Amino acid sequence: MMYGSICRGTAHMPDDQLKDAFARARTFQVTSRGEEVRVIAYHDESSIEAQRRPGGKGWEALALTQQPKGDLPLTGVLFMDIPQSAWGPLDLAVSALQNEFGDHFTKRATLKCM
């Protein structure tokens, strides 16, 4: 059996791919601690971690993780703005969970339709 560690590095994702990744994501893990909100959006064999900036300043992508079948996960640090046109799925996942659980929680949600 082979063991390994997560490979890390700097990544870049073009805006159109970033928008598409959030549009295709159906499962979201949301951590809400008042003003601090983080979301991991899952799609195919990839996930993107994002955080909402306080004061309504939008969303920022933090990390992209890809795990091809049979390979070790590859994580790249993004630190890039998410275009406003891609905020919809993130805002929907967060608001759906905040309506049910308040402002302090860590939960996973699957959105059936958007």
**Residues 6+ away with beta carbon under 8 Å from 114:** 23, 88, 89, 92
Q: Is the pLDDT of residue 3 over 50?
A: no
Q: What is the structure's pLDDT at 1?
A: 33
Q: What is the pLDDT of residues 72-110, one digit of tens each?
A: 778 888 888 999 999 999 999 999 999 999 999 999 988
Q: What is the pLDDT of residues 8-63, one digit of tens each?
A: 567 778 888 888 888 889 899 999 998 899 999 998 888 999 999 888 889 999 99
Q: Is the pLDDT of residue 113 over 70?
A: no
Whole-angstrom distance, CA of residue 111 vs CA of residue 88: 12
Bridge partners, residue 7, by sequence: 74
- Count Cα atoms within 13 angstroms, Cβ side, for 68: 3
